[in-house]
Amino acid sequence: MNCLDYRRALETEPDRVTPQMQAHAQDCAACTAWSEEARAFESRLKRALEVGVPPAKELPLLPALPARRFALAAGILAAIGVATLAWFSFPRTTLAAEVVAHVEEEPQSWGTRDAVASGTLADVLERSSVRAQFPTGSVTYARNCWFRGHLVPHLVVHDTQGTVTVLILSAENVAGKVSFDEDGMRGVIMPAEHGSIAVLSREAPQVDAIAERMREALR
Amino acid sequence: MNRANDGNERRRRFDALCAALRPDLFRFAFWLSRDRAIAEDVVQETLLRAWRAMDELRDEKAARQWLLTIVRREHARLYERKRLPTVDVDELIEREEPLLAAPDELAVQDVRRALFRLEESYREPLVLQVLMGYSTEEIAQHMGLKVGAVLTRLFRARHQLRAILAGENTSAVPAARLEST
């Protein structure tokens, strides 16, 4: 083994030192010194990769998994149940419930009164391929969230008639406007130019009127 | 009653797995995306998928590799679904500065910034090897590559990393894709 082979091997698999490599290092002071430096580099690399981990988000309520022996029967019953519910009340018990559940997962969204920087808001909208124009300084929370397999803008907007949460659901088409009242939140889901928009609030009594303005803000 | 107990036991096992493995999942997702918010979303989506597919996990000792595979898939799915615009890597670094500038020594921070500039095809095997302790064969299996290709990437990864740290102009480093929050 020559120096080149030794160093190449060490740069590829630093933890794998073969007898040939050991033999070479014993006879080569330059490579021994080089391996010390390589070890220090590996240590720095490992520490660099160990970035801080943010606190865990609360997982959404996970659907209960039935015991395996009941899985098939339960699955069929669940499918029938879901189909029946969807038939009678779509989208209230599906889309609306998921919207409410999602918003409840991010209670910190209501906690800030500082307006989101216009650049940040533009980034959030752009990442979801959404165009919208909200009054300057009215948005206090803006981020892209996973929702039904898509990255959607999740905003908190301060309207003259109250504060609302807005989810812009470009991939969700609804037949018409649906009002809902779930877990203390009132809201509407209505068709928008692309997909739909969900607007909900705990406090604003005029959600319908605000929702219309939010829809108009989409371009 | 037994079904309820089964469900509780399953949830307890799952929570324990999540608590133990979440740091690894987050760090892997972060170094794939170089975006803390995306990494958090990918991990969240991974855990939801894992919960739904919990029955597929026969051996909990294999949970880490199983979950890291899901992280990789979820991260890729994000790019399949969204054609995200391009942004300069300096912008990405600036955005994640609080994380990069964690209370570590300066040399470690420099390595973090250099890792941001490393090509993804080199960064991923390096993370798996150094951080996750994967063998070359395991990396090959995880990435769907031949062992020889993995060895080449690992060598080039370190070589390129050293070049970036030395301030050399590495033309192999492309502009980073924007990964969302």
- Among chain A residues, the shortest Cα distance to B1 is held by A67
Average pLDDT over residues B98-119: 79
| Structural domain contains residue A69 | no
- Chain A residues touching residue B155 (CB < 8 angstroms): 8, 11-12
Q: Average pLDDT for residues B143-147, to the nearest whole number?
A: 90
In order, the DSSP letters of A8-33 are: HHHHH-TT---HHHHHHHHH-HHHHH
Beta pairing partners, A159: A162
Interface confidence (ipTM) of the complex:
0.82
pLDDT higher than 60, residue B11:
yes
Residue B119 makes CB contacts below 8 A (sequence gap 6+) with B160, B172, B173, B174
pLDDT tens sequence across B146-175: 999 999 999 999 999 999 998 855 544 433
Give the C-alpha separation, B21 to B127, whole Å: 15
Q: What topology does CATH give the domain B86-181?
A: Arc Repressor Mutant, subunit A (1.10.10)
Average pLDDT over residues B20-49: 90
Asked whether A99 and A200 are in contact (CB, 8 A), the reply is: yes
**A48 vs B: CB within 8 A:** yes
pTM for this structure? 0.56
Is the model's pLDDT at A65 over the cut of 80? no
**Amino acid letter, B73:** R
Same domain for A39 and A96, yes or no, is no
Total residues found in chain A within this entry: 219
Residue B110 to chain A, least CA–CA distance (Å): 8
Q: Is B28 exposed, middle or buried (0-12, 13-18, 19+ CB in 10 A)?
A: buried
Q: Structural domain tally of chain A? A: 2
Of A58, A78, A82, nearest to A70 (Cα)? A78
Work out the mean pLDDT of chain B and round it to a whole number: 79
Question: What are the sequence ranges of the domains in chain B?
Answer: 1-83, 86-181
Segment A110-124 shows an average pLDDT of 82
Which region, left, alpha or beta, applies to residue B144 given φ > 0 means left and ψ of -120 to 50 means alpha?
Answer: left
**Per-residue buried b or exposed e for A161-198, using 16+ beta carbons within 10 Å of the residue's own CB:** ebbbbbbbbbebebeeebebebeebbbbbbbbebbbbb
Tell me which CATH code domain B1-83 carries: 1.10.1740.10
Q: Report yes or no on A60 lying in a domain.
A: no
**Do A189 and A198 touch, CB atoms closer than 8 A?**
yes
Q: Which of B78, B109, B181 sits opposite A143 (nearest CB)?
A: B181
Same domain, A99 and A34: no
Question: What is the greatest pairwise CA distance in chain B?
Answer: 66
Residues A102 and A42 in one domain: no
Set of chain B residues whose Cβ sits within 8 Å of the Cβ of A102: none
Question: Which residues have a Cβ under 8 Å from the Cβ of A117 and sit 6 or more positions away?
Answer: none
Touching check for A69 and chain B: CB below 8 Å?
Answer: no
Give the mean pLDDT of B42-54: 85
Asked if B37 and A150 come within 8 Å (Cβ–Cβ), the reply is no
Of residues B36 and B174, the one with the higher pLDDT is B36
Q: If you measure CA to CA, which chain A residue comes closest to B31?
A: A49
Please, is A60 exposed, middle or buried when counting C-beta atoms within 10 Å of its C-beta (0-12, 13-18, 19+)? middle
Q: Per residue in A137-147, pLDDT tens? A: 899 888 888 78
Task: List the single range of A25-39, B66-80, B102-116, B143-157 with lowest mean pLDDT.
Answer: B102-116
**Within this chain, do residues A107 and A199 fall inside the same structural domain, yes or no?**
yes
Segment A77-94 shows an average pLDDT of 52
pLDDT digits (tens, 9 = 90+) for A167-213: 999 888 888 888 888 777 889 999 998 899 999 988 777 889 999 99
- A window 157-216, beta carbon within 8 A of B: none
A109 and A159 together in one domain:
yes
Length of chain B counted residue by residue: 181
- In order of A40, A99, B135, B136, B163, the CA distances from A6 in angstroms are 17, 58, 19, 18, 19
Q: What pLDDT, on a 0 to 100 scale, did the predictor assign at position B104?
A: 55
Q: Which residues are within 8 A (CB) of B33 and not within 5 positions of it... i.e. 6 or more apart?
A: B39, B42, B75, B179
Q: Are A201 and A212 in contact (CB under 8 A)?
A: no
Residues A125-136, mean pLDDT to the nearest whole number: 88
Q: Are residues A107 and A20 in the same domain?
A: no
Sheet strands side by side (includes A178-182): A139-147, A150-159, A162-169, A196-201, A185-191, A178-182
Considering only the beta carbons, identify the residue of A11, A64, A150 that sits closest to B159.
A11
- Domain match, A26 and A113 both: no
Residue A177 C-alpha, separation from nearest chain B C-alpha, in angstroms: 27
Confidence of residue A88 (pLDDT cuts 50, 70, 90): very low
Cβ within 8 Å, pair B115-A48: yes
Q: What is the pLDDT of residue A87?
A: 44
**Are A112 and A210 part of one and the same domain?**
yes
Which of A51, A62, A68 is opposite residue B27, by nearest beta carbon? A51
To which H or E segment does residue A98 belong?
helix A97-105
- Mean pLDDT, residues A143-157: 84
The reply to whether residue B115 touches residue A60, judged by beta carbons under 8 angstroms, is: no
The average confidence (pLDDT) of chain A is: 81
Closest CA relative to residue A146, chosen from B91, B56, B75: B75
Query: In CATH, what number is assigned to the domain containing residue A196?
Result: 3.40.1000
pLDDT at A153 over 80: yes
Same domain for A126 and A41, yes or no, is no
| Mean pLDDT of all residues in B64-93 | 76
Q: B131 and A144: CB-CB below 8 Å?
A: no
Mark whether A101 and A7 lie in a shared domain: no
If you ran DSSP here, which 8-state letter would residue B176 be given?
P
In a domain, A79, yes or no: no
pLDDT band for position A63 (cuts 50, 70, 90): low
Whether chain B has a CB inside 8 Å of the CB on A66: the answer is yes
A209 and A154, same domain (yes or no):
yes
**How many of the other CB atoms lie within 10 Å of CB of A215?**
20
Across the interface, do A47 and B52 touch by the CB < 8 Å criterion?
no
Taking an 8 Å cut-off on Cβ atoms, the answer to whether A47 and B108 are in contact is yes
Q: Domain range holding A22?
A: 3-49
Furthest-apart CA atoms within chain A: distance in Å: 83
